[in-house]
Structure 1
Amino acid sequence: MNAAGENQNLLAEQRRALILGEVRERGGVRVNELTRRLAVSDMTIRRDLDVLARRGALEKVHGGAVRVADASTHEPGFEAKSALEQPAKDRIARAAAELAVPGSAIALSGGTTTYALARLLTEVPDLTVVTNSVRVADVFHAARRRPSGAARPGAREGTATVVLTGGVRTPSDSLVGPVADAAIRTLHFDLLFLGVHGISAEAGLSTPNLAEAETNRRLVGSARRVVVVADHTKWGQVGLSSFASLAEVHTFVTDGGLPQRARERVREHIRELVVAEDAEAADGSDVPGAGARDA
């Protein structure tokens, strides 16, 4: 962390991201230590710890907080994940949608961030969409039933051919297994938007579901360009099975909560980092704007 005098004007989410980064790196933090480093009151720090604890990001203990040791095989359901970091996911989706080219063939994996992205991609003309997500497919099917002109003001009218892979349904409503793998094996995508359970420099991209790992591996292998869309809480998480290294990722789209040290690790391995800052942060003179790219 920076010296206390340098952190007086940190936004709440930036401060919480720094706290969480410390917890993940060191295993725990103390309130009195954080008050000195961040130059805020102990009441502010305790509120930050309360917020992070409610999100399941850490566990409060007497005088501070410790890391939550989630089982590497635990896979939350779609609804449970939908309630987490939704504003960040929406910002990530808006930044990622700018990468979709009309008339291209794209793939979307399962996940709540790709679900948010799908709602924006319905406005991109003439896409061919392959997905193993029941939720994502539903978004495109609903858009096709929408009356002409019913899109939000200023949006383009998009049309998409959607291919749902088939397979065995996971708790996150993704379709995986041999049927999905066989369908993906014969296809080639211009662009893959990939949601992940966990991402780290050591383990790469990972998931708690072995079958999903193999299906994601097929998706990565069939794509000319791989774009990972994941909020900052996914950094440092490691699932049971890794399915791709960071070097196989072309672009990582995340939110402004990703700590600076994590950004540096990302830049060592991934060609392009896109940070989708919120509007308040984007107005700061020393903070990159929404969708800021660091190739």
Structure 2
Amino acid sequence: MLPAARHQAIVDAVQRDRVVRVSDLAQQLGVSLMTVRRDIELLEEGGRLERIHGGAKVPGDVSTHEPGFELKSTQLTVEKRAIALEAAGLVHEGMAVGLSAGTTTWALAKELVNGPRITVVTNSVRIADLFHHAASGGSARFASTVILIGGERTPSDALVGPIATAALKQLHLDMLFLGVHGMDADAGFTTPNLLEAETDRAFVAAARKTVVLADHTKWGLLGISTIAPLDAADEVISDAGLGPEAQRILGERVGKIRIAG
């Protein structure tokens, strides 16, 4: 493939998926990782994309852009399942577990429907539906109790806002699994939705222990609103693609970091 065609293919992928990985592009284009990195550098100089750790994104887009659930659920499925399996090992019978909205927490919910009997508190319509269908279809070994808080629905199928926040202030959770849009050394854990940030902060306040679930592409991404600083998390579970510098920073700020899969 000629460089011009390769550059256009990279730009098309970024426009379509909003965030892409170097390794995925190299595989799709049949070239080396170094070639893709050089291409990304040239394209960034031309203002056609923006480099992030391990990949590229739409320039100036991430802080307020909120991808829909359907798109995100098809991305990084192997990494998300590895993270979900690691997280599921932390859940025990009788716990009150918070699951914030997101495709990684949804992947965890798929592991928990046949796990120990727990009480699930979530603001995710998708997660509540998952437990409901598993129980009504008889596939769940035990029927967990699911509490779906109310609120205003976002593109990622999260229920947020004053009603959601007020409900969470009345609850006490043994553990929260928090999905985030981005992680940054200075900004902490972020989201592109202001109301969702407020609701997620209420989740954190309600939990005795907060475990952030975030694949490696979340490092360096910035949403417009900070949910919490890095040191607010007791643990972070990510995947093997998370770079050494990101692991070093998280290791210094977070109680514990787990690399899954």
Name the residue aligned to 2:69.
78
1:218 maps to 2:232? no
1:184 maps to 2:175? no
Q: Flag the 1:118–1:59 CA change in 2: closer, same or farther, 3 A.
A: farther
Name the residue aligned to 1:61.
43
The amino acid that maps onto 2:109 is A
Q: After TM superposition, give the deviation of residue 253 of structure 1 in Å.
A: 0.4
1:213-292 to 2 correspondences below 5 Å: 213-277=197-261
Q: Flag the 1:60–1:161 CA change in 2: closer, same or farther, 3 A.
A: farther
Q: After TM superposition, give the deviation of residue 66 of structure 1 in Å.
A: 4.8
What are the Cα deviations for residues 76-128 of structure 1, in whole angstroms up to 9, with x where unaligned?
11011112111100110000000111110001000000000001111222200
| DSSP 3-state at the match of 1:181 | helix
Name the residue aligned to 2:113.
122
Q: Flag the 1:209–1:44 CA change in 2: closer, same or farther, 3 A.
A: same
Name the residue aligned to 2:134.
143
Q: Percent identity?
A: 47
| DSSP 3-state at the match of 1:61 | helix
The amino acid that maps onto 2:260 is A
Question: Where in structure 1 are there 5+ consecutive unaligned residues?
Answer: 1-15, 21-30, 32-41, 152-156, 278-295
What are the Cα deviations for residues 229-268 of structure 1, in whole angstroms up to 9, with x where unaligned?
0100001111101021111100100000000111000011
1:105 maps to 2:96? yes
| DSSP 3-state at the match of 1:43 | coil
Note if contact 2:91-2:116 (Cα within 8 Å) is conserved in structure 1: no
The separation in 2 between residues aligned to 1:259 and 1:73, in whole angstroms, is: 25
The amino acid that maps onto 1:205 is F
Q: Flag the 1:179–1:261 CA change in 2: closer, same or farther, 3 A.
A: same
Q: Flag the 1:60–1:121 CA change in 2: closer, same or farther, 3 A.
A: farther
Q: After TM superposition, give the deviation of residue 43 of structure 1 in Å.
A: 3.3
1:170 maps to 2:170? no
Note if contact 1:194-1:226 (Cα within 8 Å) is conserved in structure 2: yes
Q: Flag the 1:66–1:176 CA change in 2: closer, same or farther, 3 A.
A: closer
Match of 2:125 among 125, 130, 134: 134
1:44 maps to 2:32? yes
| DSSP 3-state at the match of 1:125 | coil
The separation in 1 between residues aligned to 2:159 and 2:37, in whole angstroms, is: 36
The amino acid that maps onto 1:172 is S
The amino acid that maps onto 2:102 is G
RMSD of aligned residue pairs (Cα, Å): 2.6
Q: Which has the higher Rg, Structure 1 or Structure 2?
A: 1
The amino acid that maps onto 2:43 is V
| DSSP 3-state at the match of 1:193 | strand
The separation in 2 between residues aligned to 1:222 and 1:84, in whole angstroms, is: 30
Note if contact 2:177-2:213 (Cα within 8 Å) is conserved in structure 1: yes
Q: After TM superposition, give the deviation of residue 146 of structure 1 in Å.
A: 2.2
| DSSP 3-state at the match of 1:221 | helix
